[in-house]
Amino acid sequence: MEVYQIINGTYDMRKGSVLALLMLVPAMVAFLLNKYWVNKKSFVTVTGKPTQARKLIDEAHIKWPLFIFCMLVAAVIILFYGTVVFGSFVKTWGYDYTLTLDQYTRALQQGWDSLRNSIILGLIGALIGGLLGMVIAYITAKRDYYGKRFIEVSSVLMFAVPGTVLGIAYILAFNTGFLVLTGTATILVIVFVFRNMPVAIESGTTTLLQIDNSIEEASTILGADTGYSFRRITLPMLKNAFFSGIVYSFTKAITAVSAVIFLVSPRWKLVTSNIYSLFDLAKYGQAAAFVTMMVGILLVFIGLFNTVINLLLAPRSKVPQAKTKTEESK
């Protein structure tokens, strides 16, 4: 918040950059330590062979306390979200609790453009980031080449950078010279892609490292070429990773604040910056209406993503047979 006030209030980029650098150092240290410890972990390989079913907890003295604790945590979370939803339907929060839809009417009249921009740009960023994440995950998990370690670390490095630092970096990089992107939709999509893509990369890499090469080798033995094996075997196994990467990217894109608050403009204003402005004006009902609509939009798009990905990456049973010598001679 202090960095935002310094840059937007006094436009002191030098002081804001220094504060951003101080935020970056501990984040990078934590990221490198995490990468060091994670790389020492081992993975369980998926071979396609049947395994034993999971053993459930049957001890009553363990099961019921855990159940009660989980239910209490769930109740608290539902209470928090329920308060926001209820606040979007009252006339004036804290004063008049008459149920009304006026908050939604005002919110859509004054902020429909920002909501539409968040959905469109978030969707574009999620699709691009999800696809790039799967490609990078595949070439880092299944291929060996010079510089692989550098690509693996640098591709997920953006996730460790605080959003405030990222926003300032984009302002400094794309605000002068021949490539001026500040205030455009392009820079917002770029932020969404590179900010959220590391999750898709990590999800895809983890899945690919657990797939035994014998599965693809079996497909090759049955007569399938490398491209067919990738489309019909590897891609369907990446379905869950691809889905989680797109959902995470879309969720973080339409709820992003710290990274984009420096980059929005009157032409390309996002719903999160609009909510921030409504809170400054003490218009809590309209802000709650926007938050409720965002939750509903997320649920709808999660269902759409799941349906489309299941249709596109559904495994097919038909496998091309290897040609016999007689067929090849013909």
The listed range with the strongest mean pLDDT (7-16, 295-304, 318-327) is 295-304
- Stated as kind and residue range, the H or E segment containing 97 is strand 96-99
Nearest CA to 314 among 249, 255, 231?
Answer: 231
Question: Could you tell me which residues come within 8 angstroms of residue 111 by beta carbon, excluding any fewer than 6 positions away?
Answer: 271, 274, 286, 290
For the cut 70, the answer to whether the pLDDT of residue 39 exceeds it is no
pLDDT for the residue numbered 124: 93
C-alpha–C-alpha distance, residues 121 and 223, integer Å: 43
C-alpha–C-alpha distance, residues 214 and 71, integer Å: 43
Domain with CATH 1.10.3720.10 in the chain: 107-316
> Distances from the Cα of 268 to the Cαs of 3, 76, 106, 111, 184, in angstroms?
22, 36, 20, 12, 7
Question: Could you tell me which residues come within 8 angstroms of residue 119 by beta carbon, excluding any fewer than 6 positions away?
Answer: 254, 297
Could you tell me how far CA 198 lies from the centroid of its own chain?
8
Q: What is the mean pLDDT of the chain?
A: 78
% of residues, the chain, pLDDT over 90: 15
pLDDT tens for 215-233 read 777 777 777 776 777 777 7
Write out the two tokens for 270: 């996002």
pTM reported for the whole predicted model: 0.77
C-alpha–C-alpha distance, residues 309 and 182, integer Å: 33
Q: What is the mean pLDDT of residues 88-110?
A: 88
Place of tokens 């249709």: 311
C-alpha–C-alpha distance, residues 192 and 91, integer Å: 35
Class of domain 107-316: mainly alpha
Helix orientation angle between 185-209 and 102-141, rounded to the nearest 10 degrees: 50
* H-type alpha helices, the chain: 2-5, 13-39, 60-87, 102-141, 148-157, 163-173, 185-209, 213-221, 226-229, 235-237, 239-254, 271-280, 284-312, 325-329
For the cut 80, the answer to whether the pLDDT of residue 117 exceeds it is yes
